[in-house]
């Protein structure tokens, strides 16, 4: 059975990071669209102390301020806009204290333990004949076959 990529991730606990706890807790319960379809492991740095240039990146790396983190990547500007709908003060914190994350090409990584990539946030593949996906796996939906019984794929 193949694993489909995720479209969204639900934040289920305060993510790790340099933002104040109340700002990190404001993410809990939100579903955020993913920039990358699966969990990744990448080099990361702090949102406040992280480098702003390649030279700064190498300096931070030499000083041990770049870390390997596993998690889910989202477009930060879009995530902040979603946050603003339910927690406008937390979104304002990002706009004031870390404005570079409001740029369209910026990204956040939410650490894996903070995320629930539940099956309902998975990408829906189109159905082929007989209720099967193009990869041959059952669709998980009821299918009525002509002159046949009602069947359910699990």
DSSP 128-149: -GGGB-TTS-B-SSEEE-TTS-
pLDDT of res. 40: 93
User: What is the full per-residue pLDDT of the chain (154 aa) written as tens digits?
Assistant: 445 556 899 999 999 999 999 999 999 999 999 998 889 998 887 888 777 788 887 887 888 878 888 999 999 999 999 999 999 999 999 999 999 999 989 999 999 999 998 755 555 444 444 444 444 444 443 333 344 443 333 3
Per-domain residue ranges for the chain? 8-123, 125-154
Q: Who's near 13: CB < 8 A, 6+ residues apart?
A: 28, 113, 114
pLDDT of res. 37: 85
Closest CA to 139 of 118, 150, 124, 149: 124
- Distance (Å) of CA 143 to CA 121, 126, 134, 136, 137: 22, 14, 15, 14, 13
pLDDT of res. 57: 79
pLDDT of res. 150: 38
Q: State how far the Cα of 86 lies from the Cα of 105, in Å rounded to an integer.
A: 23
Closest CA to 72 of 14, 129, 115: 115
pLDDT of res. 54: 82
DSSP 3-state assignment of 153? coil
Assessment of whether the complete model's pTM goes beyond 0.75: no
What does the chain come to in residues?
A: 154
**Cβ 10 vs Cβ 115: under 8 Å:** yes
């Amino acid at each position: 059975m193949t694993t489909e990529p995720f479209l969204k991730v639900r934040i289920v606990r305060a993510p790790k990071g340099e933002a104040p706890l109340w700002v990190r807790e404001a993410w809990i319960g939100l579903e955020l669209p993913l920039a990358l379809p699966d969990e990744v492991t990448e080099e990361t740095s702090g949102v406040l102390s992280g480098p702003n240039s390649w030279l700064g990146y190498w300096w931070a790396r030499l000083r041990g301020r770049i870390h390997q983190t596993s998690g889910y990547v989202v477009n930060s500007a879009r995530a902040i806009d979603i946050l603003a709908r339910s927690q406008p003060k937390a979104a304002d914190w990002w706009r004031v204290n870390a404005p570079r994350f409001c740029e369209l090409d910026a990204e956040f990584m939410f650490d894996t333990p903070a995320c629930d990539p539940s099956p309902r946030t998975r990408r829906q593949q189109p159905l082929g004949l007989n209720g099967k996906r193009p990869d041959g796996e059952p669709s998980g939906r009821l299918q009525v076959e002509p002159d046949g019984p009602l069947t359910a794929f699990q």
